[in-house]
A and B are shown apart, each in its own frame.
Chain A
C-alpha cells in the first residue's frame, strides 16, 4: 500500500507538485491521470525516493520514504520515466542484473524469468543483445526487469507510452495479473481510455494539484458528465479558461 499525503515540490519558481494526496491500496489498480507536464513523473519520483519532497510524506507499506528510502524501495518495483536497457547485455542479462541487485535467490531467477518470458512472449529475443530491440521488445524486458523481485507495490510511469496495440494489451494483462496477486499497482498515464479500462481508482492531476479522485463512476458524477473523457477535459482545463 502506498500512502501519499500533502506532497509539494518546486523547481525554482515553478510549482511542479502541490498538496498531492492519495492512497494506492493492495489488490487495486490506481491510475494517476493527467495531461503532459501535470507533475505525474515528479510525483512518481518522490514516491520511489529519487526526489525529496519539500512538504508532505510518502509511506510504502507504512515505511516513510524520506527517512528510510532503501527500506521503502525494498517494498516496491518501478518502471520510471527514464528507463533504458543496457545495450551490450542481452534481455536475460538485463533482468539478471537487477535480480542480483535485488538479492533474488539465484535459483528463483531462472524460473521467474521463464514465467515472464511466457507471459510477455519474450522467448524469441531474450538472449539477443538489447541494442537491436524494437520498442515493444524493450518495454517487455523493462517490465520483467522491474518486477523480477516480485514487489508488493508496483509503480509504472507511463508504461504504455508509444507501444503498439499488442504490446499495450500485454501490459494491461500484466497489470490485471498483478492486481489478482493482491499487489498495489499505481500507474500514470495521459490516456483516459486506458485508465478507465483498468483502474479501480483514478487520481486526476493537473498543474501539480489533485483535481479529482475516486472510482471512475464517482468522477463522472463529480464532473457532471456521462463520458469519462469529457470529465477529464472539464477537470484538467485551466481554471476560467475552459469552454462555457
Chain B
C-alpha cells in the first residue's frame, strides 16, 4: 500500500519542482530579453559567423585565384627574351614591366614579387655559365609566398628544359640528370585540404556561440541575484534550490542553443558561397554537427551557472567567463598546429573531440556513430552533474552569504 502512495508523493514533488523551475525560467527569460547587454551580446554572436565567412572567402580566393592566374612584374625583360616568351606561354601567366624600385615596391606591398633579370644574363647564358636571376619577394605574406614558390617552380622547369636541350646537343641523354624520379601521390584529398585549411575555424566559432550565448543570462540571473541582494528574499519562498538552478540554466540555455543554432544555419547557407569549398556536406553531416554543438551549449550553460554561483558580482562572474573563453580556442590551436588529429585519443577528449567531430563532418569525412554519441552523452551527462552540484551550492549558507 505504501509503495504506490510513496511513488505518487514523489511524482507530485517532481511535478512541483518542475512547475517552480518553469516559473523561474519564464521570469529569467523575460528579464534577459529586456536586458540591453544581453541583446548586444546576441547581436554580436549572430553577426560573427557571416563576418567570419567574408574573411574566409577573401582568404580562400586570394590563395587560389591569384596563384592560378598571375601577373609577374619583370625587370630587364630585354636581357632574356627567350625566357620571357617561355613564361608567357604558360597558361594563366602574364608579364608586366616592374616598378622603378622593385625592393621598395615589394616592401610597400604594391606588388607581391619582382623577377629581376641582370644585364649579364644573356652573356652568361651564352657561355654556359649559370645565369643568375633575382626573385624579390616578401615571404611573410601567405598569398605572396604562394606566388613566389610558383614562379620559382616555373623557373626551375625552364632551367631543366634548357639543360636537357644542351645535353641532347652534346649527344648525352637528359635522363642522366634524373637519377631519381619522385612521383607525388596525394592522399590528403582536395576536399579535406580545403576543409582543414579554410574550414578549421568554423568549429571554433560554433563552439564560441555555445560558450557565449547564455553567458549574460547566467551571470545576471545567478551572480547578479546575489549582487543586487535579491537572493535572500528569493530563497525564503519554499522553492528548492534545484528548481531555481534548473530555471536559470534553462533560460541561459535558450539563448545559447538559439545562437548556436543560428550560427549553424548561417554556416549552412553561406557554405555554398565559399570560394574553393569543393566540399558539400550532406544533410546528415550537418545533423552530426548539430548533435555535437547544440548539446554542448547546454553543458556550457551549466558550467557557467556553477561558476557564477561562486561569484560575488556580475563583473566577477564575467571575469571567470573570460577564462572559459579559452576553452573553444584550445582545440582550434591544437588542430591547426597538428598536435591532435581526427581518430587519435584526442577524439575522446571533451571540447577537443567536439571540435574534431564538427570539422570532420564538415570536411565530408566519415565520423563514427560512437564519436557523435560520445560527444552528445558527455554534454548531457556533464550538464546534469553540474546542475546537481549547482543546486546544492546555490542554497549553501556559506555561498548565499558569501563575503
Q: Is the CB of B233 within 8 A of A142?
A: yes
Q: Is the CB of B228 within 8 A of A87?
A: yes
Q: List 6 A-B contacts (CB under 8 A).
A: A52-B397, A70-B238, A73-B238, A83-B229, A98-B233, A101-B237
Q: Is B34 an interface residue (CB 8 A)?
A: yes
Report the separation of the CA atoms of residues A97 and B234 in the bound assembly, to the nearest whole angstrom. Answer: 10
Report the separation of the CA atoms of residues A51 and B35 in the bound assembly, to the nearest whole angstrom. Answer: 32
Contact of B236 among A48, A71, A88, A142 (CB under 8 A): A48
Q: Is the CB of B31 within 8 A of A89?
A: yes
Q: Is B106 an interface residue (CB 8 A)?
A: no
Residue numbers in B under 8 Å from A88 (CB-CB): 30-31, 34-35
Q: Is the CB of B23 within 8 A of A50?
A: no
Residue numbers in B under 8 Å from A216 (CB-CB): none
- When C-beta atoms are compared, the residue in chain A nearest to B226 turns out to be A82
Q: Is A219 an interface residue (CB 8 A)?
A: no
Report the separation of the CA atoms of residues A101 and B235 in the bound assembly, to the nearest whole angstrom. Answer: 10
Contact of A97 among B19, B27, B35, B232 (CB under 8 A): B27
Q: Is A74 an interface residue (CB 8 A)?
A: yes
Q: Is the CB of A86 within 8 A of B236?
A: no
Given A45-B401, A50-B400, 15 further pairs, Cβ under 8 A: A50-B232, A70-B239, A70-B240, A80-B233, A81-B232, A83-B233, A84-B228, A86-B31, A88-B34, A98-B233, A98-B237, A100-B23, A101-B24, A102-B238, A145-B233
Q: Is B290 an interface residue (CB 8 A)?
A: no
B14 to chain A, nearest CB (A): 14
Q: Is the CB of A50 within 8 A of B233?
A: no
Q: Is B231 an interface residue (CB 8 A)?
A: yes
Report the separation of the CA atoms of residues A49 and B239 in the bound assembly, to the nearest whole angstrom. Answer: 12
Q: Is A146 an interface residue (CB 8 A)?
A: yes
The winner among B34, B232, B400 for most chain A CB atoms within 10 A is: B232
Q: Is the CB of B232 within 8 A of A101?
A: no
Q: Is B230 an interface residue (CB 8 A)?
A: yes
B362 to chain A, nearest CB (A): 39
Q: Is B307 an interface residue (CB 8 A)?
A: no
B32 to chain A, nearest CB (A): 9
Interface string of A68-96 (1 = CB under 8 A from B): 00110110111111111111110001000
Q: Is the CB of B397 within 8 A of A84?
A: no
- When C-beta atoms are compared, the residue in chain B nearest to A89 turns out to be B31
Q: Using A83-B233, A89-B31 as known contacts, say yes or no to A101 and B400 having CB atoms under 8 A apart.
A: no
Contact of B229 among A45, A82, A93, A102 (CB under 8 A): A82
Residues facing B in A80-131 (CB within 8 A) are 80-89, 93, 97-98, 100-103
- When C-beta atoms are compared, the residue in chain B nearest to A52 turns out to be B397
Q: Is the CB of B233 within 8 A of A82?
A: yes
Q: Using A80-B236, A142-B233, A146-B233 as known contacts, say yes or no to A50 and B30 having CB atoms under 8 A apart.
A: no
Q: Is B20 an interface residue (CB 8 A)?
A: yes
Residue numbers in A under 8 Å from B228 (CB-CB): 84, 86-87
Contact of A50 among B16, B20, B24, B235 (CB under 8 A): B235
Residue numbers in A under 8 Å from B229 (CB-CB): 82-84
Q: Using A51-B401, A82-B231, A84-B229 as known contacts, say yes or no to A73 and B237 having CB atoms under 8 A apart.
A: yes
A146 to chain B, nearest CB (A): 7
The winner among B34, B35, B235, B397 for most chain A CB atoms within 10 A is: B235
Q: Is the CB of A78 within 8 A of B233?
A: yes
Report the separation of the CA atoms of residues A158 and B238 in the bound assembly, to the nearest whole angstrom. Answer: 22
Report the separation of the CA atoms of residues A100 and B16 in the bound assembly, to the nearest whole angstrom. Answer: 12
Residue numbers in B under 8 Å from A51 (CB-CB): 397, 401
Residues facing A in B33-68 (CB within 8 A) are 34-35
B254 to chain A, nearest CB (A): 17
A93 to chain B, nearest CB (A): 8
Report the separation of the CA atoms of residues A71 and B229 in the bound assembly, to the nearest whole angstrom. Answer: 24
Report the separation of the CA atoms of residues A84 and B228 in the bound assembly, to the nearest whole angstrom. Answer: 6
Q: Is the CB of B30 within 8 A of A85?
A: no
Residue numbers in B under 8 Å from A83 (CB-CB): 229-230, 232-233
Report the separation of the CA atoms of residues A86 and B26 in the bound assembly, to the nearest whole angstrom. Answer: 14
B228 to chain A, nearest CB (A): 4
Contact of B27 among A48, A78, A79, A89 (CB under 8 A): A89
Contact of B20 among A52, A85, A101 (CB under 8 A): A101
A64 to chain B, nearest CB (A): 15
Residue numbers in B under 8 Å from A79 (CB-CB): 233
- When C-beta atoms are compared, the residue in chain B nearest to A48 turns out to be B236
The winner among B31, B233, B401 for most chain A CB atoms within 10 A is: B233
Q: Using A97-B27, A101-B23 as known contacts, say yes or no to A49 and B34 having CB atoms under 8 A apart.
A: no
The winner among A70, A77, A97, A142 for most chain B CB atoms within 10 A is: A97
The winner among B27, B31, B240 for most chain A CB atoms within 10 A is: B27
Report the separation of the CA atoms of residues A78 and B397 in the bound assembly, to the nearest whole angstrom. Answer: 17
Residue numbers in B under 8 Å from A97 (CB-CB): 23, 27
Report the separation of the CA atoms of residues A67 and B81 in the bound assembly, to the nearest whole angstrom. Answer: 99
Residues facing A in B126-176 (CB within 8 A) are none
A155 to chain B, nearest CB (A): 8
- When C-beta atoms are compared, the residue in chain B nearest to A49 turns out to be B236
- When C-beta atoms are compared, the residue in chain A nearest to B221 turns out to be A86
Residue numbers in A under 8 Å from B397 (CB-CB): 50-52
B342 to chain A, nearest CB (A): 45
Residue numbers in B under 8 Å from A49 (CB-CB): 236
B385 to chain A, nearest CB (A): 24
Report the separation of the CA atoms of residues A109 and B387 in the bound assembly, to the nearest whole angstrom. Answer: 31
Residues facing A in B227-265 (CB within 8 A) are 228-240
Report the separation of the CA atoms of residues A15 and B307 in the bound assembly, to the nearest whole angstrom. Answer: 31
Residue numbers in B under 8 Å from A93 (CB-CB): 27, 30
Q: Using A51-B397, A52-B397, A97-B27 as known contacts, say yes or no to A86 and B230 having CB atoms under 8 A apart.
A: yes
